[in-house]
Structure 1
Amino acid sequence: MQKLRAGNEDMHLFSCGSGDPILFLHGIPTSCQLWNGVVERMAGKYHCIAVDLPGLGQTAKRDHRFGELKHLVEAIESLRKKRGIEKWHVVGHDAGCAIAVHYAHHYQERVSRMVLMTPSIFPELEPFFLFEILRKPVLGEVMAPVINTIFWKLVMRRAFEHTPELDAAVRNFHAPFSGLTGSWRLMSLLRWGNPAQVLASVPSLLPELLVPTLIMHGSKDPAVPVSFAQRAAQLLPNAEKVLLDCGHFLPMSEPGLISEKLLHFFDCGKIPSSSEEPIAAVAS
């Protein structure tokens, strides 16, 4: 793990491999370790860069809120300049997709290709009910310790198979929100803004993005509706979607299948054929 100052941000990042660069952006409340299984499969052909966004993983929380996307976009652009990268592929998951879209809007000439996984990018997004409680004044303060425990001990533990690698990643996700003040940090992070307001501009940005885009979504995703992937594919001028037979955390549950799709997309110079039927991984 490296630490690099990007603009006014001290951002932790994981970088490995050589070749054309790929930037990986995680969502809430994960970290760059979301991408471990994907990166290890792609580093033989690509220079993979996965960052910890502010308040998550090993990057400290900033004065501005997570939902203030302009600050994040400028931090990412500063990172590109500091690493001497001319253009890169940008891959986002969950809330990381909103950051990817805004970055591509402001710096389209710097994005070779874009991938949106589980795109939490529309203002109609229904917030997770436990997180919505934490956003409410007074009630959030009262319930924060209980909700923090329920979320990490029950919800996140049930979202993955229990393997040493995935358990280690979940512990990394949990680390910023553990200890005596962990529940308050989670509450503070989630008060990044009302999704309806933060994401209000996204639909109008998508038709302007000519970057070749691959949209991937899990057919069993309980958090983000499949209709978001369909809508994004309709609004983006140069996009296709692939529906996978899995849940919300695609990079962790199906790293082999995700890597295969990414390599095809980045290597072949064309978008895979659109898939309406969920694609399941084949055990080797």
Structure 2
Amino acid sequence: MTNELPHQEWSDAQEETTVSVDTHELTVSYYDEGQTNASENPLVFLHGIPTWSYLWRGVAPAFEDDRRVIAPDFVGYGNSAMYDGFDRSIRAQEQVLDGLLSQLEVDQIDLVAHDIGGGVALRYAAHNPDAVGKLVLSNSIAYDSWPIQFIVDLGLPGTINDMSVDDVDEQLTGMFQSTLIDPDDEFVEGMVSRFRSDKGRISLSRNAIATNTSHTTEIDYEAITAEAYFIWGENDEFQPIQFAERLNDDLENTAGITRLDANHWVPADRPSQYADHLSSFLD
């Protein structure tokens, strides 16, 4: 394994701001490290469900010597707002991204995204084609590829109402341990810990309920002009490699697909390889 930060140290390194999502003012936590370089876009990392910015612990720090690295927790996840009563769909998370970048006065970015973060990235790149230079997607949702049954089940009111915090902990822990190639206790603990409360349990359910396939089927994929590249865990049963192939065919400007021997959690399973391939593409 690489020398990743423990999850509490990652949390301690995060900053906070407030962004507007529909009619709500929501706290957003984000990791913001590295060197501001006038010749390089900030590098923004987006996570999916049920993870948070700590997903990128083995990848993002590798770029901090040369780039500003920004990794937000979407609302409803990580250390961002988790209280009940606001939208957590990828449409809303796109507003989170837009609002955060505005707060940070960042106009041009390169985007790296996983899972539902990929859906957010695709929407943002389609709606802001001049703002995204390079777009890297990994085991991303797209088209009608989602949600998977595990997430659908978590979003059923009857399911989450019948589950205690310990039940949620056990189910998430089991899911990560069974789908990571080499489960790392610190990574699994970091992922699960953010939902280890009644607020977290309900937030996870609300995040699952908010999955909405129309938010990716409605994207105008032809509007995306960023140079796109795909680093995909080729053994993924959640978001199969066929969706990377379809995106590679449909997007206007692509650099192809790198297939890694990994399942869905490719940034966690293969952090060193991932960082090497990402670096080669960005250079």
Q: Which TM-score tier does this pair reach, normalised by the shorter chain?
A: 0.7 to 0.9
Normalised TM-score (structure 1): 0.83
Counterpart amino acid of residue 171 in structure 1:
E
Equivalent position of 2:197 in the other structure: 179
Counterpart amino acid of residue 128 in structure 1:
I
Equivalent position of 2:229 in the other structure: 214
CA-atom RMSD, angstroms? Answer: 2.1
Q: Which structure 2 residues correspond to residues 101-250 of structure 1 after superposition, within 5 A?
A: 101-125=122-146, 127-142=147-162, 148-160=168-180, 161-163=182-184, 167-180=185-198, 182-193=200-211, 195-202=212-219, 205-239=220-254, 240-250=256-266
Q: 1:184 to 1:213 in 2, by over 3 A?
A: same
Q: 1:162 to 1:224 in 2, by over 3 A?
A: closer
* Superposition deviation, residue 143 in structure 1: 5.2
Q: Deviations over 1:4-37 (max 9, x none)?
A: 2234332111111113311110000101111111
Q: 1:107 to 1:9 in 2, by over 3 A?
A: farther
Percent of paired sites with the same residue = 22
Equivalent position of 1:64 in the other structure: 86
Q: 1:43 to 1:29 in 2, by over 3 A?
A: same
Equivalent position of 1:2 in the other structure: 15
Q: Deviations over 1:29-57 (max 9, x none)?
A: 10111111111211112111111111111
Q: What secondary structure is seen at the aligned counterpart in 1 of 2:130?
A: helix
Equivalent position of 1:17 in the other structure: 34
On the 8 A contact 1:134/1:141 being kept in 2, the answer is no
The runs of 5 or more residues in structure 1 that have no matched partner are 268-284
C-alpha separation in 1, matches of 2:170 and 2:55: 21
Q: Which structure 2 residues correspond to residues 250-261 of structure 1 after superposition, within 5 A?
A: 250-261=266-277
Aligned residues: 259
On the 8 A contact 2:139/2:232 being kept in 1, the answer is yes
Counterpart amino acid of residue 186 in structure 1:
L
C-alpha separation in 1, matches of 2:98 and 2:75: 15
On the 8 A contact 2:89/2:207 being kept in 1, the answer is no
C-alpha separation in 1, matches of 2:17 and 2:218: 30
On the 8 A contact 1:92/1:117 being kept in 2, the answer is yes
Q: Deviations over 1:58-112 (max 9, x none)?
A: 001363322151x322332222232232311011101000000111112111111
C-alpha separation in 1, matches of 2:90 and 2:109: 23
C-alpha separation in 1, matches of 2:279 and 2:26: 31
On the 8 A contact 1:31/1:57 being kept in 2, the answer is yes
Counterpart amino acid of residue 196 in structure 1:
T
Q: What secondary structure is seen at the aligned counterpart in 1 of 2:190?
A: helix
C-alpha separation in 1, matches of 2:29 and 2:190: 13
On the 8 A contact 2:152/2:209 being kept in 1, the answer is no
C-alpha separation in 2, matches of 1:158 and 1:133: 18
Q: 1:39 to 1:124 in 2, by over 3 A?
A: closer
C-alpha separation in 1, matches of 2:282 and 2:159: 46
Counterpart amino acid of residue 192 in structure 1:
A
C-alpha separation in 1, matches of 2:76 and 2:225: 31
Q: 1:84 to 1:129 in 2, by over 3 A?
A: closer
Counterpart amino acid of residue 185 in structure 1:
S
* Superposition deviation, residue 223 in structure 1: 1.1
C-alpha separation in 2, matches of 1:78 and 1:153: 32
Q: What secondary structure is seen at the aligned counterpart in 2 of 1:230?
A: helix
On the 8 A contact 1:218/1:245 being kept in 2, the answer is yes
Runs of at least 4 residues of structure 1 off by over 4 A?
143-147
C-alpha separation in 2, matches of 1:23 and 1:197: 25
Normalised TM-score (structure 2): 0.83
* Superposition deviation, residue 231 in structure 1: 0.5
